Structure 1
Amino acid sequence: MKHFLLLVTLFSLTWHVTLAQKKNEDYKLHIQKASSPIVIDGAMDEQAWLDADVATDFFSILPMDTSFAKVRTDVRMTYDEHTLYLIATCFHGPIEGPYYVESLRRDFSFGKNDNFLLFMDPFDDQTNGFSFGANAAGAQWDGIMYNGGSVDLSWDNKWTSAVKNYDDRYVFEMAVPFKSIRYKNGITNWGINFSRLDLKTTEKSSWAPVPRQFPSASLAYTGILVWDQPPPAAGPNISVIPYTLGRVTKNYEEGTDADVTGDVGADAKIALTSSLNLDLTINPDFSQVDVDRQVTNLDRFELFFPERRQFFLENGDLFANFGYSSIRPFFSRRVGLGVPIQFGARLSGRINRNWRIGLMDMQTGKVEKTALPSQNFAVMALQRRVFARSNIGFLFVNKESINYTPDLSSDKPVYSQYNRNMGLEYNLATSNNKLTGKALFLKSFSPDVKGQDFTQAANLQYSGRKLTVAWQHEYVGKNFTAEAGYVPRKNFIRLSPQVSYNFFPKGKLLLSHGPTLGTYTVFKPDFYLTDNTLFGSYNFVFRKQEKFTVWRGYDYVELLFPFDPTNSGKDSLQTGSKHNWASWGTEFSSRPQSVFTYGFSTRYGGYYNDGTRFNFTTDIGYRFQPYVSIALSSSYNKIVMSEPWNTTKFWLIGPRLDVTMTNKLYLTGFLQYNDQQDNVNLNARIQWRYAPASDLFIVYTDNYLPTPYEPGLFNVKNRAIVLKFTYWWNI
């Protein structure tokens, strides 16, 4: 604990040295109440727009951040009693030609689309906010912002927009109801910035200048939206989102008849204040959520897959971002995986400018087949802002089995009565974002467990224009347990320093190049070495935005448990066996402005037990813009070892098709062939957004064995089709 307090003190002192006024406080856009009604049609023909203040003279971020942008962008904002409006005029640059877009699908890939985005910080805390925008074809983008510059695009809400193309420009116009965002009543200064990406000139620009080493979404560099009066109170805001569905499933492996079921459920959103929201769910269903992208698993520890379910996402950073990528005391995917969620509630948002709160309670049902009892997951998070952009957070997680008495005489699994986690963390972010870091302390509580049940970790990173230096260390105790979290490894100390440097040549070919060096070292708590990876890479970024990296690595591993290096069930290497090898590889991605994009990565070198491993991955895409996007990803692994493994080959192939008939009607289909899991997965989904945030889904899923019964036929494992109808109803 004393180390944790020492780091907090160090970070606080560092903050005071670098504390400064808000970087772009001289960039102000004045917003006044609309002088006329506004129709969202992409035409700037209303008097309200002619009367509005204009944000123009954008600054270039990329390729270089030392001048004004080559492409002109003008932005105006206004409002009425219920709605916030924005119109952006995006003029053509000096290079002629069509705009580049992937498709009409919402929440597009930023780097592969000409687009305009708004980043909005309604509390002016430079940490949390909202993002809205569209690509040049009108596909919408919306997300919730956290960590001072990250955008979670899984967040969804009600708003409208239109994009209209002209000979010399395209115009984006949008209307966001005040009820769709969270903000504190009475605040007349909001943090705000606008981002424009023009792929023909490969220029990314922003209204308030942002250094090139940071994303344009960085809330540390917003300007100020100055209201002529406090924004209107959102008023009573209750939304009910019911759903109904029908499902047909058939398990061919068990030879059972088709199972036809129907279901109903609902979510509700209740705005207790303009900045504090209560979410409720009864019998939720997530059948329409994208399935996980499969990977070839050659890792010794559990893999991480991101949360995609809508209920867990708003203000999700309060819960999910506590800790580090491999030390998460709460991971929402632990709730409801293969288990029915009966109901849940979440209170989240801001109490005031300095305090955020998150309370969540989820109840799951029994699973008779595995004797899994009904369980309750309760989480409490508090976050207190300190200084300009830093905060202190507290988290408590409780997972408890309800009315459960294990049957020790049975061969069925035995589950814990409870598991609890309590933690405190300090998040550092200086006003210029160049210094960021975190210090963390966690303790777990489980029946009959005492001692070595805590975790301590910290990191600090300096991000300069040319130099980036990072340090991170982690300690996880032998008995630390987070059953509702993600902690794949215990009983270790890990050190991972890294440094990189960029050169900026004056030639026309390269934008930047430079080396990265780092190490990843793992010890037992007595500092006995078990793992070490030493790596170095050289990175090239071209002016047309192609990227190429070549790297070299050296690995040492002492196994702490038996491990099959192919994860194919052939045999396992013994505990305590020691292995070391060298390897090298490359990575390349093509220019994003082409309709044909491609990338690859290679790896070749040693592997466990004096073996060798060759890996080659590809990502290929082609788009018939803006309606059709075709992508193909593949991965090939060849592992050569002594008996009994000999030569093992794994293919992973995943073609994907996106068809966007309009920006409200989508067809997505993809096939995943996983040689390692001996499975072929087919998933197809039609989504019709017939009203704002209201959808009709048709989802078809098949799983096959790759080995056919006879030539031309696949062996079907299981099959399902779901018809789901949702409606967002404002009361």
Structure 2
Amino acid sequence: MILDGRLTEEAWRRAESASGFIQQDPNTGDPATEQTEVRVLYDDHRIVIGVMCFDSERQRIMGNQMQRDQSLGADDRFMVAIDTYSDGRSGYYFEINPSGAMGDGLVLAGSGTQVNRSWDGIWNARVDRNEMGWSAEIEIPFHTINFNPNVSSWGINFQRTVRRKVEESLWSGWARNQGLTYMPAAGRLLGLDGLHQGLGLDLLPYVVGNSSAAPGRGAPSSVETGAFGGDVVYNLTPGLRANVSMNTDFAETEVDQRQVNLTRFPLFFPEKRTFFLEGASVFAFSRETGNAIVPFFSRRIGLDDSGVPQPIDYGAKLTGHAGPFDLGVLQVRTRDRGNVAGEDFTVMRAERRFWRQSYVGGLFTSRSRAAAPATQTAGMDVALATAQLFGKEVLEVSGFYLNTTKLRGSRGGSAFGARINMPNDPINWHVALREVQDGYDPAVGFVDRRAYRLIDPGMRYTVHTERSRYVRRFSFEANLAHYFDLDGRLETRRADVQLLRVDLHSSDLVEFHLLPLYERLPRDFQISPGVVLPAGGEYSFVRRHYQAQTTTSRPVSLNATYEDGEFYSGARRQVTGTLSVRPHRGWLINAGGDFNEIALREGRFTTRVWLNDINTQFNPFVSLVNRLQFDTVTRQLGWQSRFRWITRPGNDIFIVYTHNWTDRTTLQTLDRKGSIKIVRTIRF
């Protein structure tokens, strides 16, 4: 079989087709307005999915994006979810658009609506546009996915987006409380016998060359370096995968997006390094806490507090399934650098699955260096979930407990909480309770604030207007979070009252919020250099939030917000927005910013952040991304240019150049670095 996107081989004509897709949006339960036919073939080493997306207006098919693992939400697309363990809990996610852009991810166990898109599997696909619409062939090697060899049937489901109609249709599980990645509602793929993963061994050697200089940091001379290393990945069992990385390198990593912090609490920056992203979902702890409490936060490894990389000698990782258990073990050693001693990091995670969507789990982390005691965190979490309450309602009940050992002379501390969640339609509500003690300080984790108790109820109500010509839905929402100190005194009361949100059939939307806030400051708060709000101050104020967003299916789109109103002892006006331009298929230009004008009794100041991206995609395997950023807090201008060529799936060439300037007096170079990295995958 030639992988060309054309379903012309005799095998495709003989294969049984899956069709009869049903709308999830806009008219739930109605037949899809465009026909879709899916066929599946397999041999000993791969599964191939063929889809024919018929289209009555093929000249209006949309497929602007071509870059790997980028959002396809503005395009027509075809998606597939596969439950390879046939347990109705988790699986793999693949998607493709009419221009051949590919995306993938892992379907997380739980309510079945979350996809971890950091997973980057080795697979291939091709598309073809023809007089009937567009078609695609998706080839997934069995070497790429884990599965139960003793099971001859998998769960599988398909979804298609017709972007100009804002239509989502599915083969199975089309109810609003279900969806593509709700694996209990998936169909069945039968007769899978004689599947082989091969030896299950991948070698991923790399070689990298760097040239860098930092004249603004006291190192004006260029330094040229080279290195090599790589990963060894081996499937110990069909469900367990081991990964050993030597001389780990992250030259190809994207830069962080600039943020300005106007709160009393630290900002959260997501992980972007490939080694830590792969298998990250196995180490996820208690989905109830979001980013507020993350007991294992991989950015604590190999990065200092300012984001400067620290060399990593080696990393070893074990992730996967073993019977009813999900397991993850991570061990990393960082190298001595200057006056900074190397450290050892250990993370262990286990979940015991029971019933269809529930689990109980445990987590342990440790961070240590020579001649210093280890800092350790241990905890457990539990989630009880069903999607069959009263026949079709979703109910989730979860809880967690964490404890850190003695740290820097303190006595350590705990964090614990519980949550009840009913994420249904039209009513979605939750109640969360949480306590974080002052001594809770996970050395390999992230916590946004300490020494508080939280009561956090919220509710959203949605009205669907399926027969309206213009409006798709109205929604109303209210969230009210109360933070008390450990003596029971109110410290923060934060409300978000969404008075109205209107979603149109065109995918444009507008919304209006009121944001009442009460804040009592337990200590001085320096909100800006020279501007300090004194300890003991109590502030109660209301802000107004307006947002308008136009559909990304147009060549030009805008997402803009405006906030104004009181702010502590004065007033604040904030404008944020992103203008996106798609002049041609494969081109995306974003220009955006975040602008604040703040006038307080203690002082006046402004903040500005500008962000500009130019994303050029030559084809689905070659891309060039340029990012330019500036903010008025650091007064630094940053530019990164990142070229990626996927010579074949699993083999990459990266060329990355980063340059930072400061304009505190005149525009001067702080540092610059250029890297060329070649990665190859050898499979056995």
Could you say which TM-score interval applies, normalised by the shorter chain? over 0.9
Q: How does 1:271-282 map to 2 (within 5 A)?
A: 271-282=235-246
Q: 1:367 maps to which residue?
A: 337
How many angstroms does 1:41 deviate by?
0.8
- Aligned partners of 1:54, 1:303: CA distance in 2, in Å? 49
- Structure 2 partner of 1:674: 631
Q: Distance in 1 between matches of 2:419 and 2:193?
A: 39
Matches within 5 A, 1:61-210: 61-93=24-56, 95=57, 97-147=59-109, 148-210=112-174
More off after superposition, 571-580 vs 441-450: 441-450
Pick aligned residue for 1:705 from 642, 647, 662: 662
1:481-630 correspondence to structure 2 within 5 Å: 481-505=441-465, 506-537=467-498, 538-565=500-527, 568-608=528-568, 610-630=569-589
CA contact (8 A) 2:156 2:187 kept: yes
- Cα deviation for residue 720 of structure 1 reads 0.9
Aligned residues of 1:40 and 1:162 also touching (Cα < 8 A):
yes
Q: Which residue of 2 aligns with 1:424?
A: 380
Aligned-partner Cα distance in 2 for 1:452–1:143: 37
- After the TM superposition, which of the residue ranges 437-446 and 356-365 deviates more from structure 2? 437-446
Q: Cα distance 1:41–1:441, how it changes in 2: closer, same or farther (>3 A)?
A: same
In the superposition, the TM-score normalised over structure 2's length comes to 0.95
Q: 1:627 to 1:312 in 2, by over 3 A?
A: same
Q: Supply the AA of the counterpart residue of 1:329.
A: P
Query: Deviations 1:207-238 (Å, cap 9, x if unpaired)?
Result: 10332355533334322222x14351313111
Q: Give the secondary structure class of the aligned counterpart of 1:200.
A: helix
Any unmatched runs of 5+ in structure 2? 304-308
**Greater displacement, 161-170 / 184-193:** 184-193
Q: Which amino acid aligns with 2:663?
A: P
- Cα shift readout 1:576-616 (whole Å, capped 9, x = no counterpart): 221221101111211232121111011101112x2111111
Deviation at 1:124, TM superposition (A): 2.5
For residue 32 of structure 1, what is the aligned residue in structure 2?
A: none
Task: Rate the CA distance shift 1:625–1:142 in 2: closer, same or farther, 3 A.
Answer: farther
Alpha-carbon distance in 1 for matches of 2:266, 2:19 = 49
Aligned partner (choices 175, 187, 193) of residue 223 of structure 1? 187
CA deviation string 1:56-92 (max 9, x = no partner): 0111111131211111111011100111110011111
- Aligned residues of 1:211 and 1:465 also touching (Cα < 8 A): no
- Aligned counterpart in structure 2 of residue 724 of structure 1, from 668, 677, 683: 677
Query: Would you say the 8 A contact 1:494–1:522 is kept in 2?
Result: yes
Counterpart of 2:359? 391
Residue of structure 2 equivalent to 1:331: 297
Count residues with an aligned counterpart. Answer: 668
1:102 and 1:108 in contact (8 A); partners too: no
8 Å CA contact 2:177, 2:394 repeated in 1? no
Gaps of 5+ in 1: 1-37, 406-416
Question: 2:470 and 2:281 mapped to 1: Cα distance?
Answer: 40
- Say if 1:437 and 1:545 are closer, same or farther in 2 by CA, change over 3 A: farther
**1:128-153 deviation per Cα after TM superposition (whole angstroms, max 9, x unaligned):** 21111211111111222214232222
Other-structure match for 2:215: 252
Aligned residue identity for 1:127: R
Aligned-residue offset at 1:96: 5.7
Question: After the TM superposition, which residues 316-465 of structure 1 pair with which residues of structure 2 at under 5 Å, given as runs?
Answer: 316-322=280-286, 324=289, 325-337=291-303, 338-352=309-323, 354-369=324-339, 372-401=340-369, 403-404=370-371, 417-432=373-388, 434-446=394-406, 453-465=413-425
Aligned AA (1:557): E
Change (3 A) 1:121 1:314: farther
Higher strand share: 2
Q: AA paired with 1:181?
A: I
* Worse-superposed segment, 301-310 or 140-149: 140-149
Q: Which residue in 2 is equivalent to 1:690?
A: 647
Q: Secondary structure at the match of 1:311?
A: helix
The alpha carbon displacement at 1:356 in A equals: 1.3
Please tell me whether the aligned partners of residues 80 and 93 of structure 2 are also in contact (alpha carbons under 8 angstroms).
yes
The 8 Å contact of residues 320 and 332 in structure 1, kept in 2 or not, is answered as no
- In structure 2, give the amino acid aligned to 1:161: A
Secondary structure at the aligned position of 1:184 is classed as coil
What's the secondary structure of 2:472's corresponding residue?
strand
**What displacement does 1:539 show?**
1.3
| TM-score normalised according to structure 1 size | 0.89
After TM superposition, give the deviation of residue 441 of structure 1 in Å: 1.0
Equivalent residues of 2:58, 2:132 under 8 A apart: no
Please give the secondary structure, in 2, of the residue aligned with 1:50.
helix
Between 1:661-670 and 1:439-448, the stretch displaced more is 439-448
Q: 1:241 aligns with which of 204, 208, 215?
A: 204
Deviation, structure 1 residue 715 = 1.5
Deviations 1:23-80 (A, max 9, x none): xxxxxxxxxxxxxxx2211111222212212110111111131211111111011100
Aligned match of 2:306: none
**What is the Cα deviation at residue 107 of structure 1?**
1.6
8 Å Cα contact 2:382-2:399 kept in structure 1: yes
- Tell whether the 8 Å contact from 1:144 to 1:314 is kept in structure 2 after alignment: no
Contact map agreement 1:242 1:265 (CA 8 A) in 2: yes
1:20-39 equivalence runs, <5 A: 38-39=1-2
Deviation at 1:116, TM superposition (A): 0.5
Query: What code does the residue aligned with 1:640 have?
Result: A
Instruction: Give the whole-Å Cα distance in 2 for the aligned partners of 1:143 and 1:599.
Output: 26
Q: Which residue of 2 aligns with 1:261?
A: 225
Across the aligned residues of Structure 1 and Structure 2, the Cα RMSD in angstroms comes to 1.7
Q: Distance in 1 between matches of 2:194 and 2:633?
A: 56
- Counterpart in the other structure of 2:263: 299
